[in-house]
Amino acid sequence: MDWQDALREIITQPNTRLRFGEPLSKHTHFGIGGEATVLIEVSTIEELAALARFHSKWKIPVAIIGRGANMLVSDKGFSGICIKLIGELAKLDVDDNVVTVGAGYPLPALSKEMSRKGLSGVEFVLGIPGTVGGALIMNAGAWGSSFGDVVTDVTVMQNTGELLKLTQDEANFEYRRSRLDTYFCIIGATLTLKHGEVGTITQKMNTLFKQKIETQPFVEENAGCMFKNPQGDSAGRLIDISGLKGYRIGGAEVSTIHGNFILNINNATATDVLKLVAYIQKHVHKKTGISLETEVKRLGFDT
Ligand SMILES: Cc1cc2nc3c(=O)[nH]c(=O)nc-3n(C[C@H](O)[C@H](O)[C@H](O)COP(=O)(O)OP(=O)(O)OC[C@H]3O[C@@H](n4cnc5c(N)ncnc54)[C@H](O)[C@@H]3O)c2cc1C
């Protein structure tokens, strides 16, 4: 039996969806990327554990995808299994100010739902189009807040399929990174939020969202900020003073609204994006002496 037949045998849940040769451009905000050998939308912890054991046994590469909002997938695609979390892995449970949320849950929905319940702490994620899992891995943040700040603990799955609960300290949240990417998959987290007035929280959430759509591109396909901000500076400012706004390679363009966003304006390929990334890094370094480091995760590339 080959690995693909063996895989079909372990997928038994009616809600779990399995698709071979799935274009990853359909699952990333960039709208870029070749096919995954297989994409599975997993709906239960048991099935995810079976996949973890499958991965350990067959040594087939696995990548977990949230909303693909911080991801550049290669034009060749991904030779392996892409997993998205749905069903019981994307659930929300609120008990007083303690929120238990599955890694597949979308951030904008979390922000809206918490504002309706008068819970403060995640107003800033309305404009971040990812999932809780992606926000935990990346320690997503905006306007001085970071997702890790509201986390009490994180549940992860190990390669054996066993679950492990990590404290906020163990997750080691830092600027746009955490220690969580060493596990097979993030299952979810417990957040501790603060009680507040529904009106005040909603207003804060809407103000931050408005600020975001006024200062960042929201129409064209992109993957959020392409580069991390260097200590004490902003990558967008450095790209701007280097005269790169509007610069285009193939179908990829540096946003004229915010220099740290690369847009897919005309069927850009991952190759176009990476050429543009290299061009920006070279020219920003020449102009300012600063080396920009990318924030966007890559999938399906050789290195
Ligand atoms: C328009 C736009 C605006 C944005 N604004 C912001 C912003 O203000 N601040 C900010 O920080 N980011 C921003 N981003 C980037 C992005 O939304 C965040 O990084 C978000 O947290 C990514 O979540 P995701 O679920 O889409 O992760 P993905 O892009 O799907 O994945 C990111 C990484 O996390 C891993 N991953 C995802 N889920 C899991 C899981 N359950 N278990 C293990 N690994 C997992 C993936 O393998 C990958 O390595 C923006 C993006 C866009 C397109």
Kindly state whether residue 229 falls inside one of the protein's structural domains.
no
* Residue 178's CATH number: 3.30.465.10
Question: Which of 87, 105, 138 is the C-terminal boundary of a domain?
Answer: 87
Instruction: Clarify whether residues 74 and 55 are in a common domain.
Output: yes
Give the number of residues written for the chain: 303
Q: How many angstroms is it from 12 CA to the middle of ligand 1? A: 29
* Residue 276's CATH number: 3.90.78.10
Q: How do residues 226-262 score in pLDDT, each as one tens digit?
A: 999 999 999 999 999 999 999 999 999 999 999 999 9
Q: What is the pLDDT of residue 11?
A: 87
Question: Which of 87, 105, 122 is the C-terminal boundary of a domain?
Answer: 87
Which of 130, 149, 301 shows the shortest CA–CA distance to 225? 130
Mind giving me the DSSP string for 219-244? SSB--SBSBPPPTTS-HHHHHHHTT-
Q: Is the CB of 142 under 6 A from ligand 1?
A: yes
Q: How many domains does the chain have?
A: 3
**Closest atom of ligand 1 relative to the 85 alpha carbon:** 41
Q: What is the pLDDT of residue 303?
A: 61
Instruction: Clarify whether residues 98 and 209 are in a common domain.
Output: yes
Residue nearest to ligand 1 atom 35, measured at CA: 134
> Which stretches of the chain drop beneath a pLDDT of 70?
303
With a CB cutoff of 8 Å and minimum separation 6, the contacts of 134 are 66, 67, 69, 70, 140
Q: How many angstroms is it from 60 CA to the middle of ligand 1? A: 23
Kindly state whether residue 227 falls inside one of the protein's structural domains.
no
Instruction: Clarify whether residues 52 and 104 are in a common domain.
Output: no
Kindly state whether residue 101 falls inside one of the protein's structural domains.
yes
Instruction: Clarify whether residues 106 and 200 are in a common domain.
Output: yes
Instruction: Clarify whether residues 35 and 126 are in a common domain.
Output: no
The domain in which residue 142 lies consists of 91-215
- 3-state SS, residue 263: strand
Instruction: Clarify whether residues 101 and 164 are in a common domain.
Output: yes
Kindly state whether residue 220 falls inside one of the protein's structural domains.
no
Kindly state whether residue 228 falls inside one of the protein's structural domains.
no
Burial of 233 by CB count in 10 Å (0-12 exposed, 13-18 middle, 19+ buried)?
exposed
Q: How many angstroms is it from 291 CA to the middle of ligand 1? A: 23
Q: What angle do CA 203, 207, 208 make, to 5 degrees?
A: 120
Contact at 8 Å (CB) between 176 and 191? no
Q: How many angstroms is it from 298 CA to the middle of ligand 1? A: 12
